[in-house]
Structure 1
Amino acid sequence: MSFNDLPDICLWKIFENIDEAKDLIRLSKVCSRWSDLIRPRFNRVKYLHLLGSSDAVDYIDPNSLWINADTKWNYYNLFKLFPNIKIIDSSAFDYHGSFDLPEIVKNNPQIKGLIGYLDLLGSIYDLSNIEILASEFYFNVKSVFRPDQLKQVFGRFFNMEDLPSFIGYFPNLKRLHLRLYKADQVLYNGPHLSSLKILELSTTDLVGKFIGLHFMDFCPSLESAFIGYRAKNIFVNESIKNYNLRDLVIEDIEWMQSSRLSWPLLKKLLSKFPNLQHLAIRHFVKLNVSNFDLEKLMKLLPKLKILDLRGCKKVTHKSADFLSKYCVKENRAIVIYYDCENEPTEWPKLVNTRKRICYGLDFMKHFFYKKYMFLPDLVDE
């Protein structure tokens, strides 16, 4: 029996199990029937990535095209073959002289997101359709974007002095990832971010007070936050509450022996977010939370469902046993994660791999269990 005698469903299953990009492209050119069966696979591709290894072969996964820096794509109209590419990792084009990225962005209005160290100072890009951006922001955003054009920003390094004007120009951001510098004890004093749902924030400073919690006070609709903690103290204004925050991660991203996060300070901090459901306080090696403190924390957060204390060396199975007994007594269900020798297989792991593009603004799926350095660049909403 020849391939052409097979029913469509059999051919389709064969094509679905072929991942190498150029093999699929060649097969799609055999005849119109094969093209019709393979084209939906191409249409599902929304993200374009650069492969990390020069030995890797270009391939297609369920929603992405991964290309090798050494592969010659000169003979293919990439964006005609994959018409629904929506987010581009621009590093995929740094090694391909045959591609003109500004021209690609201009001629493909379906592209909504860019990742990379883009030279935006020369105004060679037409970014009128771009809504989400991961880049260095060493340029005048007003010369490149319309007011309120961006809905999601991943800023690798950002000057604290520029933040108020930046927020004023993009007040309706939904997700914001910033690593601030020149932020040592400098309190934010600018417009509110009334639409922000997800915030990831750290600073480059190791001394003084961390001002991330103060910035969160200007985000009244915030639902999820990931705080990369590096300083020795935190500025906390207990008088301002956020009743929308459900998810909070505070991670010592330097794993500093000198990091100071005591129970009294933690109590002040958590009192701001009475409706928290998922809380992670990770890698604070000196944090000592007694059973008495745990009970007070449970009463402070009556809706808490997950407590992740991994990396806090003084939290042991005794704390977990106490919490289990407390939950039985109070008829509550709370899962606690901590470092132990025989960790149950059903416990989620701290994810040490980085997926630069994720699908869906799901904080618990894409953010909560990861380390700060592995958070995604962009999220396709």
Structure 2
Amino acid sequence: MSFNDLPDNCLWKIFENVHEAKDLIGLSKVCSRWSDLITPRFNQVKYLRLINVITLQNDYIDKKTLCINRTDWKDYNLMESFPNLKIVEISSPDHLTFGNFNKNPKIKGLIDHFGSIEDDFINKLENIEMYASGCFDLDYEKVFRPDQLKQVYWRSYDLNLPSFIDYFPNLKRLHLELLGEDQVSYNGPNLSSLKILEFSSDLVAGFHFMDFCPSLESAFIGDWAEDIFVNESIKNYNLRDLVFDNDTDFSWSLLQRLLSKFPNLHHLGIRNMNEINDSNLEELVKLLPKLKILDLRTCVNVTEKSADFLSKFCVENRSIVIYYDCENEPTEWPKLVNTCEPICYGFDFMKHCFYKDFNHLPYLIDE
């Protein structure tokens, strides 16, 4: 029996088990019948990711993602084969061999590892709404229009934060790593639309910056500036999820003052804080009357005593789940994940960010 004698469902099953992208493209060109069976799979692909050349891994299609070795696609127009691409990953201008994505209105997200867009795409990326870069000195005003971006992943040594916020005032998610020597206090415009903030800086205190984000619902605060300014008069009643990773001296009294600013917090994760211990737990849960999840793993002074206290507390009051370091962590506990998933689907901080460390947060989250 030849392939053409097989019913469509059998052929479809065979093609479903082919994962190498070039093989599928070749099969789709055999005849119109095969093309009709394979094309719906191509149409589901939304994300283009680059494979590390060193791994010599084969190109493949996995659900919504096409992963390619960037050096082997000079004879292909990926925008033609995969018309619904929404987020693409690039490394340098020499490797932009997959069609004019900058002219395709469906492309909304760009992961640019080396700032390669500055010279090649000045004022041409008009459809891009999500941008991630590992570049430290990209001139964003050359590339993007004011208020163009809604989601940013950015690292910088010398970013003028007030000017940056003034240029992109309607961001919904902001990931910032600010590096340098001279600490300053943020004094600039509000981010009235911001829902997710991921902030790590030795220059600007993250909790002070949060005071300028009145609609903020989720936050991940990484490394700390030395001087932490706390304005207890400013409350955020929208914040539901908070993680902070602190490996410097940080007192329990300062933590109390900070958490008092977020009375409606549901989910709290604290990493690497030695000052918090079993004796603090009762004050903590009383301070946060809406708390549902408390993740204190990597806080070495929190033990099973806290879990015992919380069990008794929940019987008489409300349900709170606690995670802490223990010898035999229950299998049903969510894991602390230290692997990076560059593109995530669904604007869900708890799913994609809460149980990770700062260095492994996603580049872009597709709403």
Say yes or no: does 1:356 pair with 2:334. Answer: no
- State the shift of 1:30 in Å: 1.6
Residues 202-213 of structure 1 aligned to structure 2 (within 5 Å): 202-204=200-202, 211-213=205-207
Give me the whole-angstrom Cα distance separating, in 1, the residues matched to 2:110 and 2:58. Answer: 23
Superimposed CA distance per residue, residues 186-222 of structure 1 (whole angstroms, 9 cap, x where no aligned partner): 11111100000000001145xxxx6111110000000
Question: What is the match of residue 180 of structure 1?
Answer: 178
1:108 counterpart residue number: 104
Identify the residue that residue 141 of structure 1 maps to in structure 2: 140
Structure 1 unaligned blocks of 5 or more: none
2:202 and 2:226 in contact (8 A); partners too: no
Please name the residue that 2:249 is paired with. Answer: 260
Contact 2:103-2:125 at 8 Å conserved across structures: no
Taking the aligned partners of 2:138 and 2:26, their CA distance within structure 1 comes to 42
Correspondence list, 1:1-381, <5 A: 1-52=1-52, 53-70=54-71, 72-91=72-91, 96=95, 99=96, 104-116=100-112, 117-122=114-119, 124-125=121-122, 126-135=124-133, 136=135, 138-160=137-159, 162-182=160-180, 184-204=182-202, 211-232=205-226, 234-252=228-246, 256=247, 259-284=248-273, 286-291=274-279, 293-330=280-317, 332-381=318-367
What one-letter code is carried by the residue in structure 2 that aligns with 1:197? K
Tell me, what secondary structure is at the counterpart of 1:234? Answer: coil
* Mapped partners of 1:348, 1:15: distance in 2: 35
Aligned partners of 1:377 and 1:158: how far apart in 2? 19
Q: Is the 8 A contact 1:158 1:178 kept in 2?
A: no
The one-letter code sitting in structure 1 at the alignment partner of 2:348 is: D
1:73-96, Cα deviation, whole Å (9 max, x unpaired): 2332221001111111112x6664
Provide the C-alpha distance between the structure 2 equivalents of 1:124 and 1:172, rounded to a whole number of angstroms: 23
Would the alpha carbon gap of residues 115 and 308 (structure 1) be closer, same or farther in structure 2, given more than 3 Å must change?
A: same
Secondary structure of the 1:122 match is helix
Q: CA deviation at 1:13?
A: 2.2
Question: After superposition, what is the alpha-carbon deviation per residue over 1:266-321, rounded to whole angstroms, capped at 9, x for unaligned?
Answer: 1101000000000000112x223233x21121111111111010111110111111
Normalised to the residue count of structure 2, the TM-score between the two structures is 0.93
Task: Give the Cα–Cα distance (whole angstroms) in 2 for the partners of residues 84 and 127 of structure 1.
Answer: 17
| TM-score for the superposition, normalised by structure 1 | 0.90
Instruction: State how far apart, in whole Å, the 1-side matches of 2:48 and 2:184 are.
Output: 38
Identity %: 64
1:294 aligned counterpart, secondary structure? helix
| AA in 2 matched with 1:356 | P
What SS does structure 1 have at the residue aligned with 2:166? helix
- 8 A contact 1:112–1:132 mirrored in 2: yes
> Is there any run of 5+ residues in structure 2 with no aligned partner, and where?
none
Instruction: Tell me which moved more, 351-360 or 103-112.
Output: 103-112
Q: Deviations over 1:66-119 (max 9, x none)?
A: 11244x22332221001111111112x6664xx457x72333232111112223
Give, in angstroms, the shift of residue 159 of structure 1. Answer: 2.8
User: What is the number of equivalent residue pairs in this alignment?
Assistant: 363
The one-letter amino acid of 1:105's match is F
User: Partners of 1:230 and 1:211 in 2: how far apart?
Assistant: 6
After alignment, is 6-15 or 40-49 more displaced?
6-15
Look up the SS of the partner of 1:9 in the other structure: helix
Q: Compared with structure 1, are the counterparts of its residues 188 and 343 closer, same or farther at alpha carbon in structure 2 (3 Å cutoff)?
A: same
Residue 169 of structure 2 aligns with an amino acid whose one-letter code is P
On the 8 A contact 1:183/1:203 being kept in 2, the answer is no
**Bigger mean CA deviation after superposition, 195-204 or 110-119:** 110-119
- Separation in 1 of the partners of 2:126 and 2:103? 11
Task: Compute the RMSD of aligned alpha carbons.
Answer: 1.9
